[in-house]
Amino acid sequence: MVVNSVHWFRKCLRLHDNPALQEALNGADAVRCVYILDPFFAGAANVGINRWRFLLEALEDLDSSLKKLNSRLFVVRGQPTDVFPRLFKEWNVTRLTFEYDPEPYGKERDGAIIKLAQEFGVETIVRNSHTLYNLDRIIEMNNNSPPLTFKRFQTIVSRLELPRRPLPPITQQQMDKCHTKIEDNHDQLYSIPSLEELGFRTDGLPLAVWHGGESQALDRLGKHLDKKVWVTSLEHSRVKTCSLYASPTGLSPYLRFGCLSCRVLYYNLRELYMKVRKRCTPPLSLFGQLLWREFFYTAATNNPNFDRMDGNPICVQIPWDQNPEALAKWAEGRTGFPWIDAIMTQLRQEGWIHHLARHAVACFLTRGDLWISWESGMKVFEELLLDADWSVNAGSWMWLSCSAFFQQFFHCYCPVGFGRRTDPTGDYIRHYIPILKDYPNRYIYEPWNAPESLQKAANCVVGVDYPKPMINHAESSRLNIERMKQVYQQLSHYRGLSLLASVPTIQEEAEPPMTDESQTSSGPDSPQRVPANTEEDVCYEAPDSSTVCPSSTSAPHPDQEYQAPCISSGCHTDPSHPPSLSSIQGHSPPLKSKPCSPSSSCSSQSSSLGTKRKGLSRKVRRGQRQRGRQYCTLTAREEATGQEETMEEDMEQEEERMEEEEETCAETAGQLE
């Protein structure tokens, strides 16, 4: 039987380590490599010109590599669901291969195509190569839910077998076996479009700093390893000024488009490390960036709402502001803070910024200063940032805005101090905001504080030539830390005075996660087991972690100790921390471990608590309760609870019942009379 393969390129724009492409070639009589794009939507999509340019360059590179193998890339215009039926018939296709796309949108699209192929009797072969690991396996090993902390993720990964070894590039010999005649009109029908065809204006377009393509990626990989920067960076990565600029050894955009296989990078790093370090097994930290990427992919793969706050079970609901003008100032680099503006300018011009720069601008937009939703920032990055993977982009934004993944929120990057710390000379500012080039180092990060005479001498008067700072950072950080505390205290039900304790701890780190060696080892990694001290512990345990919803507006089951907008700060106002309990709990170790197995606590619970349960808020609550108790003992204020008459208690008890409210109920209630 004749085998006519079509390999569909999407990401994974490379010939090396491309298992799906290998499958296309395997025993085939003809192979065509296609890339599908819709020029009609290109201009409309939220993807900036730098990203398109990078993609087109990557396609050019792919085409020229295929040319060397006497083949070509077929760029087909249209939508996959329209294109494939046509191609299947025209080319008499029997086999379709492509790389597995772990992102929810991709999974849905691919599902439709696989179904379509079935209808046409076309065999589909899908291979995983965009991530190091099989993400579903990680999820399965974490009790069927994606790990929500990076530490937990690392723990799981350290138990997995090494990633699959990369495959060699496809060879001339392989290609010859399934040679497909290229028509003379190939360039008319299947050429790679130009930026103009996609609707972009290219006059005055500055030269690209990052050039797309597999050849470029492999070249950079060589330099990356040659430089061996990483060997020292292993010790401790200190930011140096130069690293704020685009580095000729940077790889992230190439990983994003799959011009470079993450597994190739992984094994190259590993082997180099073992060579230098005399066969030591490399620590996970060696693969830092690769693992972060993997972490966010895992978190996103089954969550179609991963890129938004609403309906996203892992995202804390934060009452962000909507402020289009402020957002535009940020996105266009007109905030009046040179550090922020320089970064946003670099991002717009070049398509890449250092990760610390990302932290700085993301914090500024969200919890640090402007209090604007991370979703807006994510969309701007999606447009401008070459390496913006859907999962990694959304995940990082949630991380940096403290909207998920359980981090402390106290630490806000100062838009002046952090810049000065990172690049004390301010040359980075002068490079991207030339109008400030004559400012002395002292004022380059805060030009508005420079004396007027100096501003005039430097030919840049703040408020005329360069904007005034759009916000008073001291004031906004004061407000925002309170807002974050409000949100997190509601989430964690912590009512004490400690800022740090407002952030819920997640059970997944403290619990012995699975039946494995970690329970028997005696290092500090193994959680201590404490005997179950009260039945209460068992009864409040949250056994399941699959449907979490840390929504600050979500209401718990009335059984839970819940204090809605309590306005008192003292732990004595919390009726759930009576003195008797604090004396019981006060000496219990800070480490939280489960006194009984998940299944038994689960069954004991479901019988008593009913179904309405918000997993995460429950899960975190117990940790808080314990901390709250510790706090009570620490500050030795037991007497308060006893004396406290009904003021706050009343309120809280009331509130815990009254908490839930939805707007629609008003309509219903309105009809009642």
Can you say which residues are annotated as belonging to the binding site? Answer: 289-296, 387-389
To the nearest 10°, report the CA torsion of 52, 56, 58, 59: 140
Q: How far apart are CA 23 and CA 6, in angstroms?
A: 10
Out of 112, 328, 464, 666, point to the residue binding another protein (CB under 8 A).
Answer: 666
Query: Are the C-beta atoms of 10 and 34 separated by less than 8 Å?
Result: no
Where does this chain touch another protein (CB under 8 A) — which range of 104-112, 131-139, 282-290, 455-463? 282-290
Site string for another protein, 397-416 (x = CB under 8 A): --xx------xx-xxxxx--
Question: Counting contacts by CB under 8 A, is residue 653 touching another protein?
Answer: yes
State which amino acid sits at residue 227.
K
**Sheet with 95-99, edge to edge strand ranges:** 73-77, 30-37, 4-9, 95-99, 123-127
Where does this chain touch another protein (CB under 8 A) — which range of 66-74, 203-211, 329-337, 555-563? 555-563
Site string for another protein, 29-68 (x = CB under 8 A): ----------------------------------------
Question: Counting contacts by CB under 8 A, is residue 459 touching another protein?
Answer: no
Q: What is the 3-state secondary structure (H, E, C) of 314-364?
A: CCCCCCCECCHHHHHHHHCCCCCCHHHHHHHHHHHHHCCCCHHHHHHHHHH
Nearer to another protein, 87 or 299 (CB): 299
* Contact positions with another protein (CB under 8 A) in 122-161: 150-151
Where does this chain touch another protein (CB under 8 A) — which range of 26-34, 134-142, 261-269, 553-561? 553-561
Q: How many CA atoms lie within 13 A of 552 on its CB side?
A: 23
- Spatial neighbors of 527 by CB under 8 A, at least 6 apart, are 510, 511, 512, 591, 592, 593
Beta bridge partners of 5: 31, 95
Radius of gyration of the chain (CA): 28
Closest CA to 102 of 342, 391, 531: 391
Out of 18, 180, 252, 563, point to the residue binding another protein (CB under 8 A).
Answer: 252
Query: Are the C-beta atoms of 289 and 252 separated by less than 8 Å?
Result: yes
* Contact positions with another protein (CB under 8 A) in 208-227: none
* Contact positions with another protein (CB under 8 A) in 608-647: 627, 630, 634-637, 640, 647
Question: Counting contacts by CB under 8 A, is residue 516 touching another protein?
Answer: no
Six token digits for residue 110:
């691919």
Beta bridge partners of 8: 34, 98
Question: Counting contacts by CB under 8 A, is residue 559 touching another protein?
Answer: yes
Question: Counting contacts by CB under 8 A, is residue 171 touching another protein?
Answer: no
Site string for another protein, 342-381 (x = CB under 8 A): -------------x--xx-----------x-x--------
* Contact positions with another protein (CB under 8 A) in 292-331: 292-293, 296, 309-310, 317, 319-323
Nearer to another protein, 4 or 563 (CB): 563
Residue 89 φ/ψ, nearest 5 degrees = -70, -50
Question: Counting contacts by CB under 8 A, is residue 607 touching another protein?
Answer: no
Minimum distance from residue 526 beta carbon to another protein (Å): 8
Nearer to another protein, 104 or 556 (CB): 556
Q: Where are the alpha helices (DSSP H) in 435-540?
A: 441-444, 452-457, 473-492, 507-510, 535-540
The footprint of another protein on this chain (CB under 8 A) covers a number of residues equal to 116
